[in-house]
Amino acid sequence: MHFLTQKIQFPDVSEASAEGLLAVGGDLSPERILYAYASGIFPWFDDNEPLLWWSPDPRFVLFPEDLKVSKSMNKILKKSTFSVTINKNFKAVIENCAHAKRQDQLGTWITNDMVESYIKLHELGYAKSVEVWLNKELVGGLYGIDLGNNMFCGESMFAKVSNASKVGFISMIQNSDYKIIDCQLHTNHLESLGGKHISRLDFLKYL
């Protein structure tokens, strides 16, 4: 187990545990977070845990050319029931993600410190939000990190009505030049949209 100091550095990702845990501690400064993402590392911890840094092997990703859009979802997209915006209200999106109830999860890993740090990253032009609106009400969205290397590192999403976050996710992919979406860890939802595992080594090549 590696314990971080105030110095912004991480051990080599090859030293991560079998589950992908690499290091403990440090801080959530924008500089450290950006350094982490550029090294294939991301923070993830519950609100009652210390700051944990991960670099899993394999890594779960989605290539835009593999995106799966069901017939029913295509109908929803064509109806234009929802409207989708980019970076319209980052703060509202990350706060909704933080308060969204998750299955088998008592707390949240999007702590107040995490919210503040990612808002700073948004102001610096690195954190990006996608908002989904229904009758001018924010009903879904997602946010993540864009390092400017044709990769979007997805962090979290929320939906107040059915299909809202999915509409935002699909619309972002279909209307961007991203070559790869970093989903970090497997979920059945993202697998249904075309996500798959690749080795950590292959993932690092995209960085």
Q: What is the pLDDT of residues 19-33, one digit of tens each?
A: 999 999 999 999 999
Percentage, residues of the chain above pLDDT 90: 89
What domains are there in the chain, each with its CATH number? Answer: 2-58 (3.30.70.3550), 60-198 (3.40.630.70)
What mean pLDDT do residues 134-151 have? 96
Q: Report the pLDDT value the prediction gives residue 163, as an integer from 0 to 100.
A: 95
Section 161-168 average pLDDT: 96
pLDDT (tens digit per residue) in 9-19? 999 999 999 99
Whether pLDDT at 84 is above 70:
yes
- pTM of the entire predicted model: 0.93
Closest of 127, 5, 16, 136 to residue 81, by C-alpha: 136
- Which tens digits make up the pLDDT trace of 95-125? 999 998 755 443 457 889 999 999 999 999 9
DSSP codes of every residue in 118-175: HHHHHHTT-EEEEEEEETTEEEEEEEEEE-SSSEEEEEEEEESSTTHHHHHHHHHHHT
Cβ-based neighbour number of residue 21 at 10 Å: 17
pLDDT of 153: 97
- Cross-strand bridge partners of residue 198: 59
Average pLDDT of the segment spanning 47-75: 95
Exposure string for 76-110, b = 16+ CB within 10 A, e = fewer: bbeeeebebeeeeebeebbbbbbebeeeeeeebbb
The whole-chain average pLDDT of the chain stands at 94
